[in-house]
């Protein structure tokens, strides 16, 4: 059984990221992700992008996630609802938390 290294997973994930829309581009959506280790990363994505690109972004910036630790992306609001799969329908998903299951 072949197991990819965390570095290889992160590199593959980085290749999946779409070009970042400019700050004034209305077709873009700014997303801030807080990781369990306390780091915060911000990036803009096309509003039409699926949540898969945010997952790829998380794999690029979290060695634990890239190494295979399961995680979930939730809204940074009380109740921690799972984030919708498409930004177009998810204007509330500008602040996200990366949660590892307990």
Q: What SS3 class is residue 47?
A: coil
pLDDT of residue 88: 41
pLDDT of residue 57: 93
| Angle formed by the axes of helices 6-16 and 51-61, nearest 10° | 140
pLDDT of residue 9: 93
pLDDT tens digits, 12-33? 999 999 999 998 888 888 888 8
Tokens 């779409």 correspond to what residue? 18
Is residue 102's pLDDT more than 70? no
pLDDT tens digits, 56-99? 999 999 998 899 888 877 766 655 555 555 554 444 445 565 55
pLDDT of residue 91: 44
Residues 6+ apart with CB under 8 A from 93: 29, 31, 75, 83, 84, 87
Task: Report d(CA 12, CA 30) in Å as an integer.
Answer: 22
Fold that domain 6-99 belongs to in CATH: Ubiquitin-like (UB roll) (3.10.20)
């Amino acid at each position: 059984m072949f197991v990819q290294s965390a570095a290889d997973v992160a590199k593959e994930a980085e290749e999946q990221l779409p070009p970042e829309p400019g700050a004034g581009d209305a077709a873009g959506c700014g997303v801030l992700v807080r990781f369990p280790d306390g780091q915060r990363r911000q990036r803009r994505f096309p509003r039409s992008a699926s949540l898969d690109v945010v997952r790829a972004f998380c794999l690029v910036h979290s060695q634990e996630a890239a190494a295979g630790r399961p995680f979930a992306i939730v809204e940074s609001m009380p109740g921690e609802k799972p984030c919708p799969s498409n930004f177009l329908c998810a204007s509330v998903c500008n602040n996200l938390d990366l949660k590892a299951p307990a």
